[in-house]
Chain A
């Protein structure tokens, strides 16, 4: 500050005024966007989901229909991939500003209900703004927790075995309903020996598959407030998995890691993968082979342990427009035109109106419809077991620690201990 001319008083005041104005401006823009009602009675609701571009295109077309029917309701959209979606959602929810309507799944119902984030849609159903009629196979129950209706299913899905049909055919493997785990692993070995490709991408760290295995044996992954299995169960499951990786019938975990975000199945480094049946659309888009759905292996030759799960629409307990939100959900799950647009992107359409309106013409959609028909016909579908608060963190830990174990960087016994310790923390939080 070597200058000796003193700053003029007027300049100082002007500068001060400008700074205050700038700050004030910043403050208004920072807090803006809170008001969602306009003078003419138009209401804006925010709708967020996770998924790929394809889903976004379909949803945007559905929203255009909705806005045409309800010109006074505007829908503002936002979407990310699964992981990013929940990170963002959690931050928004903690700040008291979650989207008015959002895609949800069973693992998150208790977590966010406990924190008072989810709107119990019962009152809107009773008020006649949202219909709970015409849901197929009682799938609306997936959205019910402790007598509250926290989510409205948009589609149903079930765990399945996605297979590379060409490889399975060349190896002479033909999966049948009721085949056993022994038969399944023998098939993987045959594929490995004859086709020189690993059989599976890593079944042992998929929580929802282990849940099926446990259900086949009279247990389940979760109880109301904890884990439904013990350390000995998991030690056996993971030790077998590790040995199969070593034997080469499961894809080398290093490969799996590098194929991401693609699946190793569609990358041609495995012949099968356990996942939700509505994901087959993804494999067909990603890979070069043709992909089909096979039955889940069983322990006793009959029970697969499968159940119908579902993606849902939930509403925020903080929404200023519960009625409009209810009407929007109602339209999205019941309107036949929306059913035609959405197809089986989020699972088999949940209501009969939409299910009957959509006639699948592409191979993957036909296969999904056939698969759920077969599973239902086999009479193996059970009721979904509870997912306590923290289930999402436990699922992520199961996947991560199972992966560490398969890489050989963590001993099986240590991995099991670590999983139980992390699960305990997550479920008691």
Chain B
């Protein structure tokens, strides 16, 4: 009797333990790979961030955090920091809301040609950088299409040399980013929306809820986990932005649109290499992304 009574909970405990262990085994391959392929090089890079000197003769700097201290006096770095955060604050929210709107529209039951619309809106992120950067530069050039349209619609009084203007250049980068990544994020929203039943929307419609209410009161709460994932990914992507800064504006005019990653790349390979300083700047990016992701997780990942 007593034996039996004791055995049952113990067996359940071992079952739970077994499941717990299975869980760890499921994580193992991915975790090992990440530790091996990312954390190990990251530790090495962190050590480099405490060093200075020629790339092949690095020595620990005095004081150790010298490279980190140096950043505050570096005008180009500070400018790149301001630029990058400007992109982040403006671009990420607009892009994610747009992606949600597209996903909701393209998830509508009665919509025709869904496949074609979805493909079209996804395509920007698959478009080669070469072709889209040439097109964007041409469209936003002084005698380009954008100026022609805006002037003829009387939105602008006279043409703007977008890429040669501190605000214009940033605007072009933000527009390019939204153009390029909205469809990408839409894909995740679409795939997650499949787990939402159409009948919920029908019930809401009967209750008189409009499209916006349906989006904010039904879709967004149900998609919260995936919205969180995309928010973290976009924050990360924008803080590490490189392509657009190099190819659209080359950081100009006068570093007014350069991003942190672009500056880090220049410091590593274009100008006389300073590996220690570049590594230190990289860890500052890590810090920013980590803190922002942490905040996003706190806000969005409540079970």
Q: Do A and B come from one complex?
A: no
* A contacts, CB < 8 Å to B: none
Binding site for A on B (CB under 8 A): none
